[in-house]
Amino acid sequence: MLANIGAVQWRETGRLVLDNPLIQILLTFTITLVVHIVLRAVIGMVVERLAHQHQYRSELDEYKRAKTLKGVIRTLVAVLLWIVAILIMLQQAGVNLATLATGAGLFGVIFGFGAQSAVKDFVSGLCIIGENQYRVGDIIKLQVGSVAISGTVEELTIRITRLRDLDGNVHTVSNGTPTAVTNLSYEYANVNINIGVSYDADIDTVEKVINQVGQAMLQDEKWAADIFEPITFLRVDDFGDSAVRVKALGKVEPAAQWAVAGEFRRRIKPAFDAAGVSIPYPHMVVQQVASQQGIKK
């Protein structure tokens, strides 16, 4: 008999606790938070597995694509999950959702005019991700009006792209704003170098030296992994006022073009010096003319 009374009391206490709106809201919040954490982990594993099954040119491309998709899908799922949770918590707090929806209808019409840019950003973000225009980790240039913004993609969401430039500045750009996108690190990059040599230089010697330096870099363990095709002499590009301009070209790993080009320039100068090929540079001759008063003295 006492056991039955105790059981009834426990059930009554439990019912009173669970009927408390504050307790219900806390339970909903806790359950939503746990589901959010679990879904983040599951999404990460599923996306990585699907990305691994797809054929990418390199592990870096696979990593970039997977990281981008994980961020976007996690954001979308989190937004939807918490919207549902907030609606449930409002209902548990005693808010009439039907009345709220009626009032929100008028507000939605007013707000809709100001949300057109957000919709544009959302659609543009879907296109960027769906078409694989760029990924987290890519180096891109965005044309925003008359201003070009370049940098490494640190974050890509449905609405914004966040870049960090060479000076460390962070640029946040709405996805619907740029009129043109240039990906400087997609699949491969070219090293495109113009070099001015003296008119007295033998072009055959210039070509030979450029090709030798390019081959030496390809055989160097430090640089071989970044080079797909060695830097070679391409053509005589122009006749300048004081130099013959020649062009050298090579194909390298994405985002490695600047480092490879810098190392090539560092090596080509002593190689030209050893071969007797000079690189002209502008000269300025300053003459000091004595004044008439100085001459008389």
Q: What is the pLDDT of residue 28?
A: 87
Q: Span 77-91, mean pLDDT?
A: 86
Q: Residues 244-265: pLDDT tens digits?
A: 999 999 999 988 999 999 999 9
Q: Residues 11-25: pLDDT tens digits?
A: 665 565 566 778 888
The answer, yes or no, to whether residue 2 has pLDDT greater than 50, is no
Burial class (CB in 10 A: 0-12, 13-18, 19+), 210: buried
Q: Confidence band (pLDDT; 50, 70, 90) for 283?
A: low
Rounded distance between C-alpha atoms, residue 264 and residue 216, angstroms: 10
Q: What is the pLDDT of residue 182?
A: 92
Residue type, 78: A
Rounded distance between C-alpha atoms, residue 58 and residue 203, angstroms: 38
On the CB side of 160, how many CA atoms lie within 13 Å of its CA?
Answer: 8
The answer, yes or no, to whether residue 192 has pLDDT greater than 80, is yes
Domain boundaries, given as residue ranges, for the chain:
2-114, 133-183, 189-275
Q: What ranges in 115-188 are assigned the alpha helix state H?
A: 116-130
Q: Span 48-74, mean pLDDT?
A: 75
Rounded distance between C-alpha atoms, residue 165 and residue 158, angstroms: 21
Which class does domain 133-183 fall in? mainly beta
Burial class (CB in 10 A: 0-12, 13-18, 19+), 55: exposed
* Same fold: 133-183 with 189-275: no
**Architecture field, domain 189-275:** 2-Layer Sandwich (3.30)
The answer, yes or no, to whether residue 56 has pLDDT greater than 90, is no
The answer, yes or no, to whether residue 48 has pLDDT greater than 60, is yes
Mean pLDDT of the chain: 83
The answer, yes or no, to whether residue 141 has pLDDT greater than 70, is yes
207 vs 19, higher pLDDT: 207
Could you give the angle at the alpha carbon of 154 between the alpha carbons of 150 and 159, nearest 5°?
90
Q: What is the pLDDT of residue 34?
A: 92
